[in-house]
Amino acid sequence: MKESRISAVTCLGDILKKKGKPKQSLDQFAQTLDRRDRAFVMEIVYGVLRNLYVLDGIISQFIKNTRPLGVSTINNLRIALYQMLFMRVPDFAVVHEAVKIEKPNGKPSLVNAVLRNVIRKRETIKLHMQHEDPALEIAINTSHPEWLIRRWILLYGVDETRTIAEINNSKAPLTLRTNTLRISRQDLLEELRQANIPARPTACAPDGLVLGEGVSYQDIFGFHGLFAVQDEASQLISYLLSPNPGERILDACAAPGGKTTHIAQLMKDRGEIIAVEKNPFRARILAENIRSLGLRSVQLLQSDLAEIQITQKFDRILLDAPCSSVGVIRRNPDVRYRHMEKDMVTFSHNQTLLMNIAAQLLKKDGRLVYSVCSTDPIEGEHVIQNFLKTACEFRIIETDQEFLAPYMKNGFFRTYPHKHAMDGFFGVILCKKT
């Protein structure tokens, strides 16, 4: 297990220090591990990210000043404590491995002393801290930045904020979208059941499946090409766009491709989809997802939206804009540590700029859908309000999909993890006035 724990320490350093993405870090630093050990590393990495402030609070009880410690030593202690307090790995095994992998860092005695003190005082260690300030209490106990918790309290109140933060620390299920160009949802469901893989239809999305607890991507790899991994809320965004076969569609910020490939699927793979993605790494992921589903209607364009040259405008445009991603913290626990409150204003400003660019590419009778995986109004309603102040020729329209009605209010689509058991998304449909 030594190699697994070294991989976990390295991944955490990459994520927390260098702002790497968990999946990419795991692919890079745990790729040589077998399936069982990789799953072990993933559990540790995601578990530490979900409980970072709690673990650091415990460490501070035994080390008054952690600044002189290196990043690897701190992460070594974090993963050791997570195993001991949350995974119930035997204490002796945790201490033995933590001390062993600490030797190159020169602090094995310190790690040994801290962990043995934790074992001796385990009964007095409190995983839940009390504080008279509810914002601080929630922030510390759920490992969310204080600024984010205070922002949520203003929006939702204390009780709902606590619920949101706690839901964010739960494990999200693996959700699929059936590739109906190759198989029906019912037939895929039956094939999964025959392979002893528990699954159920999504509550709203017509082509979605929610896999049972504990099912991993490796368990369903044999069904490659028959599905895309995509949360239910993300699937619903494509129905706001409501594309038709033969249309010319722009997916303005396309990677990793869940919505791009879903649009192609809804169009029966007939028509033209221009999928724009500037980032080379994300563009490669998008290209692979297009290939795996066998799609022919999608043309990948590695470019910035502002720089694309077009000779013909689009029938429909999806702008799934870069955002804070605070609506998907449940799936991506590192998101909470990536931004400061001032970044929310920057995101909102850039999103409005992208809206203005996308709007110029739309046909007179076309449809423009704006979406973000954020629950914050500054990235949703406020962006649309700012856009409409200058784009006077546009108006908000309601969806014609009845099954989306429970998530619509005043023309705005909203989902929340704590209310709908899916990711937090915002969406809106706009068209030009006639």
For residue range 88-133, list pLDDT tens digits in order: 899 999 999 999 999 999 999 999 999 999 999 998 888 888 889 9
* 227-229 and 362-372 beta bridge pairing: unpaired
- Which position among 11, 204, 323, 373 bears the catalytic label? 373
> What pLDDT, on the 0 to 100 scale, is given for residue 310?
86
> What pLDDT, on the 0 to 100 scale, is given for residue 129?
86
Angle at 301 between CA 27 and CA 362, to 5 degrees: 125
DSSP-assigned letters across all residues of 313-330? -EEEEEEE-----GGGTT
Residues in the chain, pLDDT under 50: none
Angle at 422 between CA 418 and CA 424, to 5 degrees: 75
Helix axes 134-142, 158-168, angle to 10 degrees: 10
For residue range 162-206, list pLDDT tens digits in order: 999 999 999 999 999 999 999 999 999 999 999 999 999 999 999
In this structure, is the dihedral angle defined by the CA atoms of residues 95, 96, 99 and 101, taken in order, positive or negative? negative
**Residue 253: active-site member:** no
> What pLDDT, on the 0 to 100 scale, is given for residue 242?
96
Structural tokens at position 81: 């404590």
* CB-neighbour burial class of residue 137 (10 A; exposed 0-12, middle 13-18, buried 19+): middle
> What pLDDT, on the 0 to 100 scale, is given for residue 41?
95
Length of the chain: 434
> What pLDDT, on the 0 to 100 scale, is given for residue 1?
60
**Contact criterion met (CB below 8 Å) for 182 and 205:** no
Which DSSP helix (H) or strand (E) runs through 266? Answer: helix 258-266
Structural tokens at position 308: 């694309």
Structural tokens at position 413: 């689509």
Sorted by where each starts, the structural domains of the chain and their CATH numbers stand as: 2-124 (1.10.940.10), 134-168 (no CATH), 175-229 (3.30.70.1170), 236-432 (3.40.50.150)
Catalogue the E-assigned strands of 44-113: none
Closest of 108, 415, 29, 90 to residue 231, by C-alpha: 415
Separation CA 301–CA 278 (nearest Å): 8
Q: Give residue 350's Cα distance to chain centre.
A: 20
**Contact criterion met (CB below 8 Å) for 239 and 425:** no
> What pLDDT, on the 0 to 100 scale, is given for residue 67?
87
* 227-229 and 272-276 beta bridge pairing: unpaired
